[in-house]
Chain A
Amino acid sequence: MIVLRQFRKLISMEVRVFRREPIGVFFAFIFPVFFLFLTMEVFIPAEAPREIVINYVTPSLMVLIIATGAIFGVPLSIVTYRQIKFLKRLTASGARSLTILGSIALANFMITVLGIALLAVAAMLVYDATLGGSLISFLAGFVFTFLSLGAIFLFIPAVVRSARAANALSQIIFFPVMFFSGVFIPLDMLPDWIARYISPFIPITHAAELMQGLWLGTPLVDLIWQVLILLGILCLGLVIAVRAFRWE
């Protein structure tokens, strides 16, 4: 099937381009592990029970990895390719728009999976992190979170033109979103008004709660709100993307 071959070629191209960009590799693979050590060794109080804390930190940092791909990886690829007219060039060569976008998303998914696996291995080996829930539902939750965050940040390519602007916008979004969603700092350590009036409006907050719940083994019924909210975010993201996406 030609479409499958197109997917294969486009994904390996995308992974290649990613591999050759040291900053991207650093943020996808090294930074989360580094941040894990930093959190466990420096940030958490000495008297805190590490064997419990690690099982909150690990899924949070997995969300950090997913969000990095969703906020930086996919939008920047799209905007760069669009800016240099590479997207048009691919369309001119018999690839469909959906094949091209799907390949960019899939390549990013593979990179994210690898980043998460690295983090999980480090957390398990060094700090005895343990998956409290079922592996299947955790993996399903991971894919769902990836799709939901991936979709909502597709608004970035719709509102900027140049790769520089995309990069700037991604930076502006990334840091506040990470700080106020409970990923860098637990929600209950944030000022009350932020936790109450800002955090709920950040998609990452719900993603982090879902991933933590699934990692710790919280029954699915208790996570139904997070699932519904992320589903809403997924739909909203897709609607915005379909409406506002610019191909050229």
Chain B
Amino acid sequence: METVIVVEDIIKRYGDLAAVDGVSFKVYKNEIFGIVGPNGAGKTTLVECMEGLRIPSGGFIRVLDLDPKADGYKLRQLIGIQLQEGLFPDRLKVNEVLDLFAGLYSRSVAIRPLLEKVGLLDKADGYFDSLSGGQKQRLSIAVALVSDPQVVFFDELTTGLDPQARRAMWGMVSSIRDAGKTVILVTHFMEEAERLCDRVAIIDRGRIVALDTPANLISRIDGGLRINFWLDDLSIVTELENIKGCKLTVSDQDITIQCADRRVVDEVKRVLEHNNCNFHDFTVSKPTLEDVFLSITGKEMRE
């Protein structure tokens, strides 16, 4: 596998705070590499060091064999960047924004097909301030792609979007990878990382706490399935606990059962129905990256 990015022992301090505290990893060609973690974990600081927009306090970075610190301008001609924050002037039209950014790079793609790809063709003549949140994000993607870069960085691409717009964005990111590019995707949505990324680095307080494919990360935590429901009457709990292969936790009236397979789910249901229990909101779920984060760090992703 061809290595596109090398990060070794990167540290970035702000005063006493080490926002990034000794991070190392490699990114390979044509993968979607996720950097996930809660707000304030240091994700933006880390990617902006890779883009040469911030200067690390220590460590070694090569992106496309260039040092972002020494060759920032050269590097930024070759990569595409979507910033976590970053708007355009209200009174510029969509096609004018793209024309401007196309003109800043030494090479660029045709603008109309690009607008079509991000679904903004009918908004080409619209002013930036007339766009919805999702459309603004899509323009931001188009700007990141206008130079036909080999490596694209997305930072919190879908924050603030409704679920439907988010899904549309996911489709777009996958298609970028399928077009042969390498994508670095920063997000605090574990579900997004799980769905999209080929590999994920989970970071917490400036350090990588796990790095693997989403499937491997999830398979590390025991208990394949998770059953959730709540009961009016808790007297049945003892009988449920006696079901084989069933790990049960009670919190108020909320019951969580971890188990290895489907048979336990059927058995739990049978016991509940057999005893004419009143149970509500019965759900069965697989563990997610959120559970991985919880099991590694002992805290919830969001409070």
A17 and B104 contact, CB distance less than 8 A: no
* With A16-B96, A85-B86, A86-B86: A93-B105 Cβ-Cβ less than 8 Å: yes
In the complex, the answer to whether A86 meets B88 with C-beta atoms within 8 Å is: yes
User: What sequence of 0s and 1s flags, for each residue 1-18 of chain A, a beta carbon within 8 Å of any chain B beta carbon?
Assistant: 010011011100100110
Determine which of A2, A9, A21, A80 lies in contact with B100 in the assembled complex, contact meaning CB atoms within 8 Å.
Answer: A9
- Candidates A2, A21, A88; contact of B53 at CB < 8 Å: A88
Contact flags B98-126 to A (C-beta < 8 A → 1, else 0):
01110111100000000000000000000
Which residues on B sit within 8 Å (CB–CB) of A2?
A: 106
CB distance from B239 to the nearest CB of A (A): 59
| Contacts between chains A and B (CB distance < 8 A), count | 71
B298 interfacial contact with A, CB 8 Å = no
What residues of A have a CB within 8 angstroms of the CB of B103 in the complex?
Answer: 5-6, 8-9
- Does residue B294 face the partner (Cβ distance < 8 Å to A)? no
Interface residues on A, range: 20 to 34
Let me know if A88 and B100 touch, CB within 8 A.
no
On whether the beta carbons of A13 and B83 are closer than 8 Å, the reply is: no
Taken together as a complex, chains A and B put the C-alpha atoms of A171 and B81 apart, in Å, by: 37
What sequence of 0s and 1s flags, for each residue 70-89 of chain A, a beta carbon within 8 Å of any chain B beta carbon?
Answer: 00000000001100111011
Asked if B100 and A20 sit within 8 Å, CB to CB, the answer is no
Q: What residues of chain B lie closer than 8 Å to A137, measured between beta carbons?
A: none
Q: In the assembled complex, which residues on chain B have CB atoms less than 8 Å from the CB atom of A134?
A: none
In chain B, positions 58-103 with a C-beta closer than 8 Å to chain A are: 73, 76-77, 81, 83, 85-89, 91-92, 96, 99-101, 103
CA distance A112 to B74 in the complex (A): 34
Q: How many Å lie between the Cα of A94 and that of B75 in the bound state?
A: 8
Asked if B100 contacts A13 (CB within 8 A), the reply is yes
Interface residues of A in 16-37 (CB under 8 A from B): 16-17, 20-21
Chain B nearest Cβ from A7, distance in angstroms: 10
| Listed residue (B53, B73, B77, B88) with the most chain A CB atoms within 10 angstroms of its CB | B88
B-chain residues with CB within 8 Å of residue A86 when the two chains form the complex: 86-89
Task: Give the contacting residue for A20; candidates B73, B77, B91, B106; CB below 8 A.
Answer: B91
What is the CA–CA distance of A142 and B103 in the complex, to the nearest angstrom? 31
Q: Does A96 contact B (CB under 8 A)?
A: yes
CB pair B87 A90 closer than 8 Å: no
Say yes or no: A92 contacts B76, CB within 8 Å.
yes
A93 lies within 8 A of B104 (CB): yes
CB contacts (< 8 Å) of A16 on chain B: these are 91-92, 96
B-chain residues with CB within 8 Å of residue A93 when the two chains form the complex = 76, 81, 101, 104-105, 143, 147
Q: Which of A6, A90, A92 lies at the interface centre, i.e. has the most chain B CB atoms within 10 A of its CB?
A: A92
CA distance A87 to B277 in the complex (A): 62
CB neighbours of B81 from chain A (8 A): 92-93
Q: How far is the CA of A90 from the CA of B88 in the complex (A)?
A: 10
Q: How far is the CB of A203 from chain B (nearest CB, A)?
A: 29
| B86 close to A94 (CB less than 8 A) | no
Would you call A90 and B104 a contact (CB within 8 A)?
yes
Q: Is the CB of A92 within 8 A of B53?
A: yes
Interface 0/1 of B21-35, CB less than 8 Å to A = 000000000000000
Q: Does B51 contact A (CB under 8 A)?
A: yes
Residues of B within 8 A of A17 (CB): 89, 91-92
> What B residues does A91 contact at CB under 8 A?
53, 76
Instruction: Name the residue of chain B whose CB is nearest to the CB of A14.
Output: B89
Q: Give every chain A residue within 8 A of B105 (Cβ-Cβ).
A: 93-94
In chain B, positions 277-298 with a C-beta closer than 8 Å to chain A are none
CA gap between A139 and B91 in the complex, in Å: 33
Name the A residues within 8 Å of B53 (CB-CB).
88, 91-92
Asked if A21 and B91 sit within 8 Å, CB to CB, the answer is yes
A122 within 8 A of B: no
A131 neighbours in B (Cβ, 8 Å)? none
Which chain A residues border B106 with CB–CB below 8 Å? 2, 94
CB distance from B269 to the nearest CB of A (A): 52
Judge whether A223 is part of the interface by a CB distance below 8 angstroms: no
With an 8 A cutoff between CB atoms, is A95 at the interface?
Answer: yes
Is the Cβ of A89 less than 8 Å from the Cβ of B86?
yes
Q: Within 8 Å CB of A92, what residues of B?
A: 51, 53, 76, 81, 83, 86
Tell me the B residues contacting A by CB distance below 8 Å.
51, 53, 73, 76-77, 81, 83, 85-89, 91-92, 96, 99-101, 103-106, 143, 147
User: Beyond A10-B100, A20-B91: 6 further Cβ-contacts under 8 Å?
Assistant: A5-B104, A10-B104, A17-B89, A93-B81, A94-B105, A94-B147
* A-B contacts, 22 listed (Cβ < 8 Å): A5-B104, A6-B103, A8-B103, A9-B100, A9-B103, A9-B104, A10-B100, A81-B89, A84-B87, A85-B86, A85-B87, A86-B86, A88-B53, A88-B83, A89-B87, A90-B104, A92-B51, A93-B81, A93-B143, A93-B147, A94-B106, A96-B73
Q: Which 7 A-B pairs have the closest CB atoms?
A: A9-B103, A85-B86, A84-B87, A20-B91, A89-B86, A92-B81, A94-B76
